[in-house]
Every structure is written in structure tokens, then in C-alpha cells.
């Protein structure tokens, strides 16, 4: 389901605020992910420096293309296929999305409105949907 103009604006604006934090949000995201989901600890390397960087670069690209996420289909398909090789399962996408959005909520406090959360949930659902259907055709 495509985002409304208002949802695109909420995503862009909240992400600008999240990214301006002196503490990279993706570091907090991985801290929460690895703490709360033991399955993830087993998949990632001990040194997360590179991962913290590349993950947030990918989210940057999602936000830059929020008006036309279908343009990212080829990139997301490649990324999803790599994830299969890393041992990632389709059902694990939901937990990762929840941790990401909860991290944004923690960082923005009351600025992260219900509408902003719903807009991010749509962005993630769209992204994960493309990745899962590309890499796990049985789903």
C-alpha cells in the first residue's frame, strides 16, 4: 500500500531528527536487537562496526526513495538473497522491524507520534515484503 503525502513527510521529518542525534541510532538498534533476540546474536559477527554503518546507509536510501519504494525492488532483491546466505529466515523480519521502530520511538520520545509510527510501519512492511517475496518464494 503506497504511503500518503503526509506519511512521506512524517517519515522524512522524523528520520532527519533521528539522524541528527550524536549517537548513531543504528548502534542502539543493534544493541537492542542482539540483547532481546538471541537468534540475531548467532547470525552477526562480534565486531558490528561495519554493520552499524551499512544498515543505516540502507535506511537512508529507503527514506530518500520513500515516494517511490518500488524503484528499490532490484536493490532489495539482491540484499534479500544475501540475507538467505547469512542464514536469515523470513519470520525474523518482523522482530527486526519492531526493534527498529521501537528504537526510533525511544530516541524521539513524544515527537514520535502514532501517525509517525504508522508511517514507519508501512515503510518497513513494504521493504520487508519485497525482500521476503524475492528471497523466500514459498512465503
Determine which residue in the list 29, 55, 112, 120 makes contact with ligand HEM, applying CB under 6 A: 55
The 3-state secondary structure of the chain reads: CCCCHHHHHHHHHHHHHHHCCCCCHHHHHHHHHHHHCHHHHHHCCCCCHHHHHHHHHHHHHHHHCHHHHHHHHHHHHHHHHHHHHHCCCCCHHHHHHHHHHHHHHHHHHHHCCHHHHHHHHHHHHHHHHHHHHHHCCCC
Q: Which stretch binds ligand HEM (CB under 6 A): 64-72, 91-99, 105-113, 115-123?
A: 91-99
Q: How far apart are the first and last CA of the chain?
A: 19
Q: Does 127 bind ligand HEM (CB under 6 A)?
A: yes
Task: Give 8 or 59: the residue with its C-beta nearer to ligand HEM.
Answer: 59
- CB 110 to ligand HEM: min, Å: 26
Q: Does 83 bind ligand HEM (CB under 6 A)?
A: yes
Q: Does 43 bind ligand HEM (CB under 6 A)?
A: yes
- CB 25 to ligand HEM: min, Å: 13
Q: Does 84 bind ligand HEM (CB under 6 A)?
A: no
Determine which residue in the list 93, 104, 112, 120 makes contact with ligand HEM, applying CB under 6 A: 93
Residues 21-40 that bind ligand HEM (CB under 6 A): 40
Contact (Cβ atoms closer than 8 angstroms) between residue 18 and residue 104 = yes
User: Smallest Cα–Cα separation from 104: which of 15, 7, 5?
Assistant: 15
Q: Under the rule (CB under 6 A), what is the footprint of ligand HEM?
A: 40, 43-45, 51, 54-55, 58, 79, 82-83, 86, 88, 92-93, 96, 127-128
Amino acid at each position: 500500500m503506497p504511503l500518503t503525502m503526509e506519511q512521506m513527510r512524517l517519515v522524512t521529518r522524523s528520520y532527519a531528527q533521528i539522524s541528527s542525534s550524536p549517537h548513531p541510532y543504528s548502534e542502539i538498534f543493534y544493541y537492542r536487537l542482539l540483547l532481546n533476540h538471541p537468534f540475531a546474536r548467532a547470525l552477526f559477527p562480534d565486531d558490528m562496526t561495519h554493520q552499524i554503518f551499512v544498515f543505516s546507509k540502507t535506511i537512508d536510501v529507503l527514506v530518500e526513495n520513500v515516494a517511490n519504494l518500488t524503484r528499490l525492488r532490484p536493490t532489495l532483491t539482491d540484499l534479500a538473497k544475501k540475507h538467505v546466505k547469512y542464514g536469515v529466515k523470513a519470520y525474523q523480519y518482523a522482530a527486526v522491524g519492531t526493534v527498529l521502530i521501537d528504537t526510533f520511538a525511544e530516541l524521539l520520545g513524544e515527537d514520535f507520534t502514532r501517525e509517525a509510527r504508522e508511517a514507519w510501519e508501512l515503510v518497513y512492511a513494504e521493504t520487508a515484503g519485497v525482500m521476503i517475496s524475492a528471497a523466500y518464494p514459498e512465503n
